[in-house]
Structure 1
Amino acid sequence: MLSNFKTLKYFFIEHKWAYILGVVWLIFVDILQLILPEILRSFTDGLQANIVGRTEIIRYGVYVLIIGFLLAFFRFLWRIFIIGTSKKLEFELRNKLFSHLLKLSTNYFNKSKTGDLMAHATNDINAVRMALGPGIVMVVDAVFITVIATIMMFLTTDVRLTLLALFPLPFLALASGRFGKIINQRFRKVQESFSSLTETVQENLSGIRVVKTFVQENKEVEKFAQKNQNVFNKQMHLIKIFGIFQPLIMAISSLSYLIVIVYGGTLVINRDISLGDFIAFNSYLALLIWPMMAAGWVVNILQRGSASMARINTILDVEPEIVDREDAVSIENPRGNIRFINTSFKFPDTDEYALENFSLDIPPGSNIGVIGRTGSGKSTVASLLLHLFEAQEGEIQIDGLPIEKIKIESLRKHIGYVDQDSFLFSTTIADNIAFGVDEASREEVQRVAKIAQVHENILDFPEGYETFVGERGVTLSGGQKQRISIARALIKDPQILILDDSLSAVDTDTEEKILAHLEKEMEEKTSILIAHRISTIKDCDKIIVLDDGKILEEGTHDELLKNKNLYFELYEKQLLEEEITKED
């Protein structure tokens, strides 16, 4: 179990004194709690012997008051040192996990569920914090108080009374441990059901337009009600076990008190022990109840923390598939000469080539168009050029340098990429546009927005560039999202610009204006336009037509029309669609 926490060795070394001092203050608290029964013993025996006067009462009262203040002070200290340090651990571990996730390759996220990763960053990290915060407190309390209180009971009172009084307490520990496991299981089911409910809410709010256009409000309300009912049922299932647990613990602990009252009272009557001994013994017994309960809980907390740490370690042990080679170099001022040389690529866990024997020479400053049917490998060209994946065969060069020998950060810094999704963050439009640069003036943000033909749209919003977009840009139209994404790519001033079907939601008039401005902006820079629509790429210097991952034909717009092959077929089909649209 402890082996799972080896990942945190650096943290324990760095914060060892915080934990050590926290345990010291915790032991001080336990010692002070163990002193109180002795004060009660002395005070009660003094009262019984009629030797306690006003002065002694005040003195004993001052003792109790001093101990109370010291208890409060040392409790504050151990909470700061132990619980505070566990909070630092939670903070650092969450940062470590998040930064590691961002370093992982794209393929990892293709195989992992976002919900599971979110659970690791929340529930699992919290379980680790509980194990290395409250868990440590419970261990120290359970061990120290149990040992010292038991010794004091044996030494200061009666051995037979001690043995009889302690007899029910192991059953208390066993019951606590058993119930702890059941509670953990049921609590996990509550969390799972709540996670499912949250996912339903998130999907419906993100896809509210789809829900409304398909008139599925009532059906989705029913689905939500079912999952909400499931959460309620699981919570009631948990509450019932809590309802049994607390009375059972009280019942078992009351057996010890019953033994003490009956047998201990008899010993007092027979003068085998004093009344002070009887009261002190009850005080020690009260202190033992909590450690016995904690014994079961602490095992479960440590088990949960260990299991959660193991799941986190599974992620932290994943190595990025795409990393900088030792001989990788940075490129400062690339010319933008791109060459694909007999490049072949298969996505992981597939046997079919997404690109096969793909060769293409893109001179610096040229404008290349890529078109083909869905699934022909168009987006794969962009993914390989961005080094999101590595080709299994062949080579990709930029300015004569193999892409594997270029540092990833340096490579992507010089490429402006707009994908099909046009993902926007839940922040202002200005922040979304300036996302890829450290600092950007409002003038620069507006300049690229004008090139992307979205400036006027932004000004129509009440807050202008300070307008907050909804999650994933849901408050904007598809065309607005695409144009903001184009502006975000342009503000980097990239030497290579890749537009991956990022004008599909824009009308043809706006598309022509954007392309005209891009031609001026990207003069002497390399552009790759991936599209389904021929109007997007017809003016490119060169157009390649992909089919099943292979280059079927290449040339200018006019040359490809003369070939009367796939490009001509796509062109004729789109002309017919435009005619039908005009007639409607």
Structure 2
Amino acid sequence: MNRRLSGHRYERMVFVMDNNDSSHEHPAQATKLLWDYIKDHKGYYVVSFLSILIAEVITVQSPNVIGRFTDLLQAGKLNFGAVERYSLLLVLIAIGYAVFFGIGQFRTGMMGRQLEYLFRRHLFSHWETLSTSYFNKRSIGDLLNHAMNDVQAVRQAISQGLNQLSNAVFLLCSALFMMFHTVTFRLTLVSILPILFVPLVVVWFGPRVRVASRRAQESLSSMTDLSEESFSAIRLIKATANEDVAVNRFRERVDTVLSQQLRMVRQTATFQSLIPLMGSISFVIALAYGGYLTVTHQILLGSFVAFTLYLALVINPLQQIGNVINNFQRASASLLRLSVLLGEKPEIVDQSAQTEPISMQGDIHVRLADFQYPDSDIPVLKEIEFSVKRGQTLGIVGQTGSGKSTLVNLLPRVYDPPPDTVFVDGQDVRKVGLADLRSAISYVPQDGFLFSTSIGQNIGFSKEDATLNDIEKAAQQACIYDDIQQFSKGFDTVIGERGVALSGGQKQRTAIARAFLKDAPILILDDCLSAVDMNTEKHIISNLNEVRENRTTIIIAHRLSAVRHADLIIVLDDGVMVESGTHDELMALGGIYARMYTLQQHDSEVTAD
């Protein structure tokens, strides 16, 4: 639902841009990045354009040379020396064109590739600054489509498009200049009249091509999104024999992509065919009127031959200009989408004005009257107050959906708490620099996310300068070291996407080792022992007490044995803190915690029997 709503919001933004051109209301970061890049590298582009200009000035000499050759042939004055001389001239023209045009093509192509790299790096860096709520509303496939296809469309317009445009414009101008000055003025003027209708064709079809391109890209994003989800859920699809369902869903998306792309192809084909049509009409006029002038001896045969060759040169750049305008329309749609992305602002921003890094100890105090998500009016947490001193362990228990994860997510400001409700070392977390705050926290989420690299790199992710000894020590503390030693490549074993090569318990212990390696003042374990057996859990808890001395630890657990040793345990029920105390105090209270613990003990005894 969130993704669907986000898509509608995005389309409304694009609709406003297409119809009102309200650029002052729309973020133009992508356009600014583009123009800043061009201005910073204007010297390279000038060299490229000058090279192409020289190449076109050279190549338009060919029809003139051939025209003179024809006049000599008609007059009977052609000899072997003249043939040799004119042949050499044509060879030199070809070589000169190839050298200068090649320099221009290479320079512009190189700058286009660097621009593509800059855009993708900028996009990824920008995404890293956004709040997690943004990614809850946008699909990964859609974002990847932007990073790949939209950036590529802009790059092609700036490299290939500029190459073709400069080539076409310079060739067109050079050819027209030679036509006016080396042939007859009247013939040239009459022949190019149909070409004057080209701007009207551009004005009419340009916006239609842009809209068709945008819709095609959006349908492609939808298909990419479904593909990413299907590949991620391939185990579920196969286990439930739903391959046909997945294939049918994908076929529907592909049909939509095909429909939108065919619509774009129809618009593009019509647009690109009308421009050479204008050129063909010009050629017919040139043949009729030029033939008449030649037959009546008003112009020489060589001039007529040269003129037809020049006109052929004019038609080719017209086709190129049509293709370039078409590419620019598609690129403008992509640039608009990139501007929407780069214009997104993080919901959680650094409100601290401090410049010097601070060292945090780990004292935590929470006094929260209520908390609701930014897009909801219903409180998910109410009446919560507790304090944890440095070096102590806090246990948080409760039924599924009682708000445990939400509560700990307020600490690193994954969600922004209300002002003056969550404190670390006596400071409101909203007033602490985000970098300092989050650097002081090691967080192991419920899924224990792992990257598709080696298991050693996954553990070392939390500490950039970690040595192999550091990684091995953290693995031993998390009770995953022996498992890793059994792998054929040890710590170099690649575990696949999301750690697919590991069991659930191995994933959790690898994530715990990564958190141990960071050795932050505050450690949050969010139900990350659920897939670990009881004996391994005891070893991890024992190691936890040793390695976390003078460090604050927060453990969320459904299995109460994981928090029994905690200095303070709080019980959440429907977002409300209903009980708090040590294990013994809560057992003596005889409330929710006591009932949960008794029930789990009974289940453990039954399982053992």
TM-score calculated relative to the size of structure 2: 0.87
**Which residue pairs with 1:72 in the alignment?**
98
| Structure 1 residue 493 displacement after superposition | 1.7
> Where in structure 2 are the equivalents of 1:148-167 lying within 5 Å?
148-167=174-193
- Kindly provide the CA deviation profile for residues 451-485 of structure 1, in whole angstroms up to 9, marking residues without a partner as x: 11112222222222211122112222221111110
User: Which of residues 309, 323, 346 in structure 1 aligns to 2:350?
Assistant: 323
Q: Please state whether the residue corresponding to 1:554 is helix, strand or coil.
A: strand
Q: CA deviation at 1:157?
A: 2.3
Q: Does 1:442 align with 2:468?
A: yes
1:99 and 2:117 correspond = no
SS at match of 1:92: helix
Instruction: Output the CA distance in 2 between the equivalents of 1:508 and 1:565.
Output: 25
Within 5 Å, give how 1:51-66 maps onto structure 2.
Answer: 51-66=77-92
Residue 125 of structure 1 aligns to which amino acid in structure 2?
A: V
Counterpart check, 1:406 vs 2:432: yes
Residues 290-299 or 234-243, more deviating:
234-243
1:176, 1:295 within 8 Å by CA — same for their partners in 2? no
Could you list the per-position Cα deviations for residues 285-306 of structure 1 after superposition, in whole angstroms to 9, with x for gaps in the alignment? 1121133223433333333333
Cα contact 2:105–2:163 (8 A) shared by 1: no
Task: Report matched runs for 1:245-284 at 5 Å.
Answer: 253-284=279-310
CA shift, 1:70, in A, is 1.4
RMSD: 2.9
Letter in 2 for 1:466: D
User: Cα offset for 1:527?
Assistant: 0.7
Any conservation in 1 of the 2:206–2:329 contact (CA below 8 Å)? Answer: no
Closer, same or farther: CA 194–388 of 1 in aligned 2, 3 Å? closer
Deviation at 1:178, TM superposition (A): 6.3
SS state of the match for residue 435, structure 1? helix
Matches within 5 A, 1:210-225: 210-225=236-251
What amino acid does structure 1 have at the position aligned with 2:341?
Answer: I
Q: Distance in 2 between matches of 1:311 and 1:412?
A: 31
Question: Which of residues 544, 558, 583 in structure 2 aligns to 1:532?
Answer: 558
1:21 maps to 47
1:120-135 to 2 correspondence within 5 Å? 120-135=146-161
Does the 8 A contact of 2:165 with 2:324 survive in 1? yes
Query: Take 1:247 and 1:7, find their aligned partners in 2: how far apart are those partners?
Result: 34
Q: How many Å apart are 1:243 and its aligned residue?
A: 7.4
Q: How far is 1:581 from its partner?
A: 4.6
Give the corresponding residue for 2:14.
none
Q: Distance in 2 between matches of 1:462 and 1:240?
A: 56
Task: Tell me if the contact between 1:529 and 1:537 (Cα under 8 Å) persists in the aligned partners.
Answer: yes
User: Which residue, 477, 480, 501 being the options, matches 2:503?
Assistant: 477
Amino acid corresponding to residue 385 of structure 2 in structure 1: S
Aligned-pair CA distance for 1:237? 6.5
The verdict on how the C-alpha distance between 1:394 and 1:344 changes in structure 2, with shifts beyond 3 A counting, is: farther
1:460 alignment partner in structure 2? 486
Seen in structure 2, the aligned counterparts of structure 1 residues 190 and 6 have a Cα distance that, compared at 3 Å, is: closer
Decide whether the 8 Å contact of 2:444 with 2:524 is kept in 1. Answer: yes
Aligned-residue offset at 1:114: 2.2
Q: Is the 8 A contact 1:176 1:294 kept in 2?
A: no
Deviation, 1:193, is: 4.9
> How has the CA–CA distance of structure 1 residues 409 and 343 changed in structure 2, closer, same or farther, with 3 Å as cutoff?
farther
* Residues 523-580 of structure 1, C-alpha deviations (whole Å, 9 max, x = no match): 2211110112212111211101122333211011121122222212322443454456
For the 8 Å contact 2:525–2:554, the answer to whether it is kept is: yes
Cα deviation per residue 1:413-469 (whole Å; 9 max; x = unaligned)? 222110012111111111101001112222221221121111222222222221112
> Which amino acid letter does the alignment assign opposite residue 358 of structure 2?
I
Hey, what does 2:530 align to over in structure 1? 504
The reply on whether 1:489 has 2:515 as its aligned counterpart is yes
Moved more, 491-500 or 439-448: 439-448
Partner-residue secondary structure (3-state), 2:391: coil
Contact (CA 8 Å) 1:346, 1:354: kept in 2 or not? yes
The within-5 A match list for 1:513-552 is 513-552=539-578
Share of identical aligned residues, percent? Answer: 38
Distance 1:492 1:135, change over 3 A: same
Q: Contact conserved, 1:344 with 1:391, CA < 8 A, in 2?
A: no
Mapped to 2, the partners of 1:572 and 1:143 lie a distance apart of 84
Please list the CA deviations of residues 30-76 of structure 1 after superposition, one character each: whole Å capped at 9, or x if unmatched: 21122222212222212222223222222212211112111111112
Q: Label 1:512 to 1:488 Cα distance change in 2 as closer, same or farther (>3 A).
A: same
| Structure 2 CA distance for partners of 1:49 and 1:65, relative to 1, 3 Å | same
Equivalenced residues, count: 582
Match of 1:354 in 2: 380
Q: Name the structure 1 match of 2:5.
A: none
Partner of 2:135: 109
Distance in 2 of aligned mates of 1:225 and 1:313 = 30
- The answer (yes or no) to whether the contact 2:524–2:554 under 8 Å persists in 1 is yes
In structure 2, the CA distance between the partners of 1:215 and 1:248, relative to structure 1 (3 Å rule), is: same
How far apart are the structure 2 equivalents of 1:234 and 1:315?
A: 23
1:413–1:494 CA contact under 8 A, matched in 2? yes
Match of 1:369 in 2: 395
Q: Tell me which amino acid in the other structure corresponds to 1:300.
A: N
Structure 2 CA distance for partners of 1:251 and 1:96, relative to 1, 3 Å: closer
- Return the letter of the residue paired with 2:352: R
Paired with 1:250 and 1:408, the residues of 2 have a C-alpha distance of: 59
1:226-268 deviations in Å (ceiling 9; x for gaps):
5556656666676777777777766654443333333322322
CA contact (8 A) 1:327 1:405 kept: no
**What is the rounded CA distance, in whole Å, between the counterparts of 2:345 and 2:49 in structure 1?**
37
Query: Counterparts of 1:240 and 1:317 in 2: how far apart (Å)?
Result: 32
Secondary structure at 2:420's aligned position in 1?
A: strand
Give the drift of 1:329.
4.4
SS in 1 for 2:569: strand
Q: State the AA in 2 paired with 1:427.
A: T
Contact residue 180 and residue 296 of structure 1 kept, 8 A: no
In structure 2, the residue corresponding to 1:551 is in which secondary structure?
strand
Over 3 Å counting, the alpha-carbon distance change for 1:193 and 1:360 in structure 2 is same
Counterpart residue type for residue 384 of structure 1: L
* CA offsets 1:333-354 (integer angstroms, 9 cap, x no match): x332222234643211111223
| Paired residue secondary structure (1:499) | strand
Instruction: Choose 367-376 or 235-244, whichever is displaced more.
Output: 235-244
5+ residue gaps, structure 2, are 1-20
- Contact 1:176–1:293 (8 Å) recurs in 2: no
1:287 match: secondary structure: helix
